[in-house]
């Protein structure tokens, strides 16, 4: 059975003046432990679909299920969400930020050393007692990743989490996230405008057409790239040919 299934999802935004159709007849499935990316023209509904998968709101029509359970309104499902901004609370220490989700579900006492372990896992020194303002942007995003993993989410949803970083920090964080998700055996969905990032990190890439967003084409990333780190994948000859193929398809949609 597929881990995540999106079935016949349509979504329309309603206002006093108009109804805007954002998504139309989306059907896709994702396997457990798979990393997939959503790409497409601006306004094609990628983030809307990610929000629906997160259970933040209900689609106008259709269903989203994780391991057979409806996502919307299901408080038992733990879903991790990383955004472009780290959204760390500036008045809380790094440790308090990492364990915030555990505190909300009253599980912070089950593993008192989890912040230290996760900081080590994401390649940071012992900065538990520091505050977000004392860390660089790349370090803060690593803390955001640690905070996301602390609650042991069923799935990680990544909405352009590297786009605000300088290029070197972005490449390092791509490698880290890829390594961590494999180590923790997590399923993940990345929304990105960066074709190269999607190729380097993903097992499959879903290309969406302009609004209303429809699933236009699915690309399988070859095994030769999937066994490499994202940084290594960018230097492989297959990477360039796949980049050109997706670029042409994307251009044809705009």
pLDDT level of residue 101 (50, 70, 90 thresholds):
confident
d(CA 199, CA 220): 9
Q: How many residues does the chain have?
A: 254
Look at residue 112 in the predicted model and tell me its pLDDT: 58
How many independent structural domains does the chain possess? 1
- Answer yes or no: is 94 within a domain: no
Three-state DSSP at 226 gives: helix
- Answer yes or no: is 88 within a domain: no
Structural domain including 25 reads 1-76+190-254
Fill in the DSSP letter of residue 131. Answer: -
Tokens 């660089």 found at: 136
223: its two tokens = 């095994």
Pair 210, 43: CB distance under 8 Å = yes
**φ and ψ of 215, to 5 deg:** -75, 110
Three-state DSSP at 247 gives: helix
- In sequence order, what are the residues at sequence separation of 6 or more whose Cβ sits closer than 8 angstroms to the Cβ of residue 77? 55, 66, 69, 71, 154
Which of these ranges, 16-20, 21-25, 156-160, has the smallest mean pLDDT? 16-20
Look at residue 19 in the predicted model and tell me its pLDDT: 86
Which of these ranges, 66-70, 78-82, 230-234, 248-252, has the smallest mean pLDDT? 78-82
Domain with residue 61: its CATH number is 3.40.50.300
Q: What's the chain's average pLDDT?
A: 89
- Answer yes or no: is 12 within a domain: yes
- Answer yes or no: is 10 within a domain: yes
Look at residue 133 in the predicted model and tell me its pLDDT: 92
Highest mean pLDDT out of 35-44, 67-76, 118-127 = 35-44
- Answer yes or no: is 121 within a domain: no
- Answer yes or no: is 92 within a domain: no
For the stretch 193-223, pLDDT in tens is 999 999 999 999 999 999 888 999 999 999 9
- In sequence order, what are the residues at sequence separation of 6 or more whose Cβ sits closer than 8 angstroms to the Cβ of residue 131? 90, 91, 92, 93, 94
Pair 243, 197: CB distance under 8 Å = no
For the stretch 128-143, pLDDT in tens is 899 999 998 888 988 9
Look at residue 104 in the predicted model and tell me its pLDDT: 67
125: Cα separation from own chain's centroid: 25
Look at residue 111 in the predicted model and tell me its pLDDT: 57
- Answer yes or no: is 233 within a domain: yes
- Answer yes or no: is 58 within a domain: yes
211: its two tokens = 């609004």
Largest CA distance in the chain: 53
Cis bond upstream, residue 213 (ω within 30) = no
Which of these ranges, 89-98, 112-121, 138-147, 243-252, has the smallest mean pLDDT? 112-121
Instruction: Give the Cβ contact number of residue 7 at 10 Å.
Output: 15
d(CA 1, CA 163): 34
d(CA 181, CA 190): 12
Pair 44, 213: CB distance under 8 Å = yes
% the chain with pLDDT above 70: 96
pLDDT level of residue 86 (50, 70, 90 thresholds):
confident
């Amino acid at each position: 059975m597929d881990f995540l299934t999106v079935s016949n999802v349509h979504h329309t935004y309603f206002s006093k003046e108009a109804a805007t159709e954002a998504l139309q007849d989306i059907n896709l499935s994702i396997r457990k432990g798979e990393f997939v990316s959503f790409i497409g023209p601006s306004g094609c509904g990628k983030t809307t679909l990610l929000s629906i998968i997160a259970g933040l709101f209900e689609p106008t029509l259709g269903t989203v299920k994780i391991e057979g359970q409806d996502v919307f309104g299901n408080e038992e499902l733990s879903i991790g969400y990383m955004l472009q901004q780290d959204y760390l609370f500036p008045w809380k220490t790094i440790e308090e930020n990492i364990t915030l989700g555990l505190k909300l579900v009253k599980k912070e006492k089950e593993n008192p050393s989890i912040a230290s372990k996760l900081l080590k896992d994401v390649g940071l020194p012992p900065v538990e007692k520091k505050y977000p303002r004392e860390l660089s942007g790349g370090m803060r995003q690593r803390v955001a990743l640690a905070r996301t993993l602390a609650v042991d989410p069923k799935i990680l949803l990544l909405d352009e989490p590297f786009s605000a970083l300088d290029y070197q920090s972005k490449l390092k964080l791509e490698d880290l996230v890829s390594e961590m998700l494999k180590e923790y055996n997590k399923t993940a969905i990345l929304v990105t405008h960066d074709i190269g990032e999607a190729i380097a990190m993903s097992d499959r890439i879903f290309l969406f057409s302009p609004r209303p967003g429809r699933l236009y084409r699915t690309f399988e990333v070859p095994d030769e790239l999937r066994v490499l780190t994202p940084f290594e994948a960018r230097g492989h000859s297959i990477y360039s040919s796949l980049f050109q193929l997706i670029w042409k398809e994307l251009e044809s949609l705009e």
